[in-house]
Every structure is written in structure tokens, then in C-alpha cells.
Amino acid sequence: MNGEGLLLVVSGPAGVGKGTINQALIERNPNIKMSISATTRAPREGEIEGVHYFFKTEAAFREMIAQNAFLEYMHVFQMHYYGTPKSFVRDELAMGNSVILEIDVQGAMRVKQAYPEAVLIFLAPPSMSELKTRLIGRGTETIDVIEKRFNIALSEIQSAENYDYIVVNNISVVCVAQVEAIVAAEKCKVSRNNEALSKLRKGE
């Protein structure tokens, strides 16, 4: 069977639990890694080059853009650049590791265009009312910010139909198991195992 890893794109509204689910996937599956982004912002205390980010000067980042070296990138608030280096993802996949990209809907569509083999997973809340309860329960944002995030979430839900899978994060352990099942099924797809199938057809 094809031993190459999968590029997993995980999106979902703020408060749906993307970080929790992705962390659980990594802890349970040694061959699943989080993608490491490149950024032009300065390292924060405790951040390590090549572990948390690949830190770049703006000139170096722009050169990478010119060389089409990113699966996707964005210029946040016209201040700092963030992007997913193709080389990191390619090397991890070749080693048999699957790579998680936790990005927004717009970034996911850009990745799908650049790498059609990517598996897009949309994490959804059990209901929009539950999502608002979770946002409020975090206790980290004002009501105005919560309302803004909730409205953005409504917009993001409209894009879920462009994904390959939708997984409802109601009970986290069930959600994690469902994503693991998606990974297992994707690795068994005929389209990902043409070489092995060809050998079987030849009697090898």
C-alpha cells in the first residue's frame, strides 16, 4: 500500500474545538504532525525556530512567494506574513507522516487548488446555539467580539459544502475517532494505491 502521508486541512469556526481535536490526534497518532508555518513576525519568548515557526525576514518571505514556495499564505492586518511552506509538507508526507493544516476557509480553498490530493475536513458544532455558549464560556472576549465571531461562523458554515468531510464536534473522543476513520479510509482509496494495484494485476 502507498506509504505516503496525507495532507489534512482542518477548518471550522472559532470555539468549535479545532485545537483540542488536533492535539488529541497528534497525541494518539505519532505519524500525524502539525504543519509548521513560516512567519515574518519576531519570535516570542520560548518559541523555537523549526518547532513553532520558521522565522523569516520580509525580504526572504517575499522571495519565497516569488518562487511559489507556499501552499498558501496571508498578510495579516498588513503587518506580518504567515504561510505554509511546500517543502516542509512535502518532506513529511514522503516520510509517511500525515500533516494537519489548521487554517480558515479561504486558506483551505487555496490549498485544495495547489494540492488537490489534500483531504479537507470541516469541524462543525452540534448547533449554533451551542457554539455561542462555548464562545461565551471561554470568558476571554467581550460580547461585541463574540457576536462578530458568531457572525463569521455563520458565514464559514456556508462553505462547509466545499469540504470532503464534515465532522460534528459534540463529544471530543468521538470526533477524534471519526477523523481517524477518515484518515484510514483515505489511505485505502484505490486512487492512492494505483502502484500496488498495478503490481497485483501483474501477479507480483
- For 201, the enclosing helix (H) or strand (E) is helix 194-201
pLDDT of residue 1: 67
Is 83 domain-assigned?
Answer: yes
List of residues 6+ apart from 35 with CB closer than 8 A: 84, 88, 89, 99, 100, 101, 102
Is 2 domain-assigned?
Answer: no
Is 36 domain-assigned?
Answer: yes
Nearest to 21 by CA among 183, 169, 130: 169
Is 56 domain-assigned?
Answer: yes
Is 48 domain-assigned?
Answer: yes
- Residue 172: Cβ within 10 Å count: 12
List of residues 6+ apart from 17 with CB closer than 8 A: 123, 134, 169, 172, 175
How many domains does the chain fold into?
1
For residues 21 and 179, the answer to whether their CB atoms sit within 8 Å is yes
CATH number at residue 98: 3.40.50.300
Q: 142 is written with which cell numbers?
A: 467581550
Model pLDDT for residues 34-76, shown as the tens digit of each residue: 999 999 999 999 999 999 999 999 999 999 999 999 999 999 8
Q: Is the pLDDT of residue 139 over 90?
A: no
Is 98 domain-assigned?
Answer: yes
For residues 42 and 126, the answer to whether their CB atoms sit within 8 Å is no
Domain that holds residue 151: 7-201
